Structure 1
Amino acid sequence: MFEDCESFEETEQSGSHMVSKGTFDTYLIYMFQHQKSNNRQVQTMIIEFLILSIGLGIGLAMDAFSVSIANGLKEPNMSSSRHAKMAGIYAFFQFAMPMIGWLCVHTIQEAFVSFQKFIPWIALLLLLYIGIQMIVDGIKGEDNAKEQKEEALSKGEKKISTKTLIIQGIATSIDALSVGFAIANYSTIRAFASSLVIAVVTFIICMIGVKLGKIFGCKLHKYANFLGGGILIAIGLEIFIKSFI
């Protein structure tokens, strides 16, 4: 009888051990699957974030891309460092504007909404100013072809000033202020990261744009100012008209 009791106790302990072991194994499997699910969610969020930021970067960089082509047409013999500087200026403003927009949404939203309607006008005026200036330079160049040629040989190719590049950078990126609304629900780090991705995309696209402009600029140097100025004016009008559609 005592032997049966001992046997029963051993069986009970063994069963308890088996249940305990089974529960622990189930817990481990659950934790592993839960962790795997969390990792998948994080990966999906990162991919969605990158796709959105890259998409914004490509969309916002199109105006800067066109201006880069115009600058390459005007200055086909620019050095690689100047080439990178030009793209870097545009990239900086494409980084700064979304961040400024994001800050405005979180601080002075009402004032920012009122200012937003003037953005297309500012872009139009800035690009019209630079575009007309380039066309006027082209007309002067035709009237003084010999003098220009001699001056180019003695002084080298006329470079686009840093002031003009900054104005171009502001004009082509000012509409990116509105991105502040698109990323309004982002944390500071996410907004910074998104703006950084936009800047990197802009830099790459503008490097390509300047390169294309340089290639065609060497072949179409005579008409470079007219083409470049026309492109800038067209971009200004496109930004302005698009704001009313």
Structure 2
Amino acid sequence: MEFATTLLIAIGLAMDAFAVSISGGAALREGRIRWALIIGALFGGFQAGMPVLGWLGGATLAGFTEAYAPWIAFLLLALIGGKMIVEVLQGDGEVAPFSAGNAATLILLAVATSIDALAVGVSFAVLDAPILLPAITIGIVTFAFCAGGVLLGGAFGRAAGRKAGIAGGVILVGMGLRILVEHLFN
């Protein structure tokens, strides 16, 4: 597979994680550079690892990824986004899904945004294509997009205040709905 094709696949896969990074970064009040590196590494790592898992599982995972992955992604994103909205509306508006002590949420977000990368790995296995270079490319691109997204979201969050937390939650729920609708109608 040509590198340009791999790069386009990587950019496409990084878009969901990028949107989550922007919405999470918008709710951060401090430590944006630290969180940009953490989120970039976590999301990039999951995005790089999932295609490898899909490639290793090959045809065995094909049925699962086609049938259940969109539902899992929808549920995770809707629950996390809904929780963000509720916390902003009920609390003082200082909710951040990237905040310290929230490792479970971070892992769930990383999994939810990288499930499509699992399906890409299955596709690579079916095509009998190598996976190492594409996985590394996907991870690096996702790292860059997510680190930049946290910083971009942080700039937006300073300007928008409490509304940024609500917008972030709405974005997550909307992403989950988009994934589910695409699955149901395609």
- 5+ residue gaps, structure 2, are none
> Which of 94, 101, 113 is 2:62 aligned to?
113
2:76 corresponds to 1:126: yes
CA shift, 1:186, in A, is 4.3
Aligned length: 180
1:208 to partner: Cα distance: 1.6
Amino acid in structure 2 at the alignment position of 1:216: F
How far did residue 224 of structure 1 move? 2.0
Shift of 1:182: 2.9
Matched, 1:221 2:161: yes
From 157, 161, 174, give the equivalent of 2:115.
174
Identity in percent: 36
Question: Which residue in the other structure is 1:208 paired with?
Answer: 148
Instruction: Say whether residues 1:191 and 2:164 are aligned partners.
Output: no
CA distance in 2, matches of 1:182, 1:49: 15
Match of 1:135 in 2: 85
1:175 Cα deviation from its structure 2 partner: 1.4
Judge conservation of contact 1:89–1:169 (CA < 8 Å) in 2.
Answer: yes
Deviation at 1:225, TM superposition (A): 1.7
Q: Tell me the residue number matched to 1:62.
A: 15
Q: What CA distance in whole angstroms lies between the structure 2 residues aligned with 1:119 and 1:178?
A: 9
Q: 2:173 aligns with which of 233, 236, 244?
A: 233
**Larger proportion of helix:** 1
C-alpha RMSD over aligned residues: 1.9
Partner of 2:44: 91
Counterpart of 2:3? 50
Q: Which amino acid aligns with 2:20?
A: V
- Give the letter for the 1:215 counterpart: A
TM-score by length of structure 1 reads 0.69
User: TM-score, normalised on structure 2?
Assistant: 0.89
Counterpart Cα distance in 1 of 2:8 and 2:84: 31
Per-residue Cα deviation, 1:178-201 (whole angstroms, up to 9, x for no partner): 1123312446xx311110101101
In 1, Cα distance between equivalents of 2:22 and 2:29: 10
**Offset of residue 82 of structure 1:** 2.2
Higher Cα radius of gyration: 1
Q: Is the 8 A contact 2:35 2:150 kept in 1?
A: no
Question: 1:87 & 1:237 partners in 2: Cα distance?
Answer: 24
